[in-house]
Amino acid sequence: MAEPFSEVAVEARTTDSKQGSLIDLRGVEKTYHSGRLEYRALRGIDLTINHGELAAIVGPSGSGKSTILNIVTGIDRPSAGTVNVGGARIDQMSEEELAIWRGENVGIVFQFFQLLPTLTALENAMLPLDFAKGESGEERTARASRNLERVGLGDKADHMPMELSGGEQQRVAIARALARDPAILVADEPTGNLDTDTAKHMLDLLAGLNREGTTILYVTHDTELAAHAHRTVTVRDGLVVETG
């Protein structure tokens, strides 16, 4: 079971979250600048994700799906609007506060796995714990081993990424994202590089983690895979156009 959100030294920058809500975006805009050019990725997003939800964000390429994930995880800052996650106003945090908050509260799964090729599956799963304080090397190893077991790779701990299939590499990436027992797991096209059958198994794994108590928000372009979610949020031209 995922632990409640850890507190960071930002008491003056937190608000009480709504009953049941974990993620609350209000009037969120994001504009990217490149020289004289600007691109409005988000045009005023209102979105609430509740504790325990398994939610999918769908929409065409360039619609703003990945930008929403980046805003929720604090990787990007909004140009306007408020971002409240677990009662914390993360849009008002400093970079240092964000790094601490993100490391303790959010697990991120990327489309291209992003495993370090010179480390074993176990060592990759341990990476976020190497920066954690208060745990011995044995405790970190035990925690990473348990997470590999959770994703069905307990027998592949000593394998290098090149010795694993695409689906297995993505499972290692999920085990790594679970390292700090986050309350929320976000995934950007987690099945984008997998064949159809492996992709369905991956979504089954995410659904299982959700049943254990983790709130999951993922982006997918595949409407069939989005059907695994409790709720689908459709984004187009930087706006939420449908949710249900």
User: Dihedral of CA 151/157/161/164: which sign?
Assistant: negative
DSSP 8-state secondary structure symbol assigned to residue 174 = H
* 122-174 pLDDT, tens digit each: 999 999 887 776 678 888 999 999 999 999 999 999 999 999 999 999 999 99
Given a contact cutoff of 8 angstroms between Cβ atoms, the answer to whether 50 and 72 are in contact is no
* 205-232 pLDDT, tens digit each: 889 999 999 999 999 888 778 888 999 9
Greater confidence, 49 or 111? Answer: 49
Can you list the domains of the chain with their CATH numbers? 11-243 (3.40.50.300)
Mean pLDDT for 33-47 is: 93
Structure tokens of 158?
A: 């000593």
Where residue 185 falls among pLDDT bands split at 50, 70, 90?
very high
Structure tokens of 43?
A: 């045009």
Q: What is the value of pTM for the model shown? A: 0.85
Of 108, 93, 90, nearest in space to 22 by CA: 90
